[in-house]
Amino acid sequence: MAEELHIATGTREERYKELIPQIKGLISGESNLIANLANVTAALKETFGFFWVGFYLVEHDDLVLGPFQGPIACTRIALGKGVCGTSWEKEESIIVDDVDAFPGHIACSSASKSEIVVPIKKYGEVIGVLDVDSDQLSDFSAIDQKYLEEIMTCVSDCF
């Protein structure tokens, strides 16, 4: 288990490449799901300075707020509602350059301007999503999607 996080400088892609082995180190050998999810959110927020980073976990017909870093968040999101519920329903990552332009966006914070949501899958079924918000427009790209999907593949082993 890692005791501290080394925050790389450089491009976003370079920072992801340095972060991923550290996340694997944080979650390897730890069996507690909440501890692992909490450390992943902290690592992402510390490395990139995102406005909000957190998990929503599938519970019956809702996504329920899990560990997060940032301001107070929405507690429950229904299937197909907002960016998180849409990602869950479509079983795919979604990048939103301007959340105000996303039909049905759930505004947990007016400071959020752009968002990426990545589903967590186990045995082909979505069991949760990672939600990352930025206070900047168009802050996420295919680079974020690629590496966050890789991180969520690692996280799925925690379930």
pLDDT in tens, 100-150: 899 877 777 778 999 999 999 999 999 999 999 999 999 999 999 999 999
Please indicate, yes or no, if residue 4 is contained in any of the structural domains: no
Domain assignment of residue 3, yes or no: no
Residues 6+ apart with CB under 8 A from 149: 93, 118
Q: Indicate the number of domains in the chain.
A: 1
Domain range for residue 74? 12-156
Position 2 in a domain? no
Q: In this structure, what CATH number is given to the domain that contains residue 41?
A: 3.30.450.40
- Residue 7 inside a domain? The answer is no
Q: Is the pTM of this model over 0.85?
A: yes
pLDDT in tens, 47-64: 999 999 999 999 999 999
Q: State the chain's mean pLDDT as an integer.
A: 94
| Angle at CA of residue 19, ends 128 and 74, nearest 5° | 30
**6 belongs to a structural domain:** no
Cβ pair 116, 145 in contact under 8 A: yes
Instruction: Label residue 1 by pLDDT band (50, 70, 90).
Output: very low
Q: What φ, ψ does residue 45 adopt, rounded to 5°?
A: -65, -45
Mean pLDDT of 13-25: 96
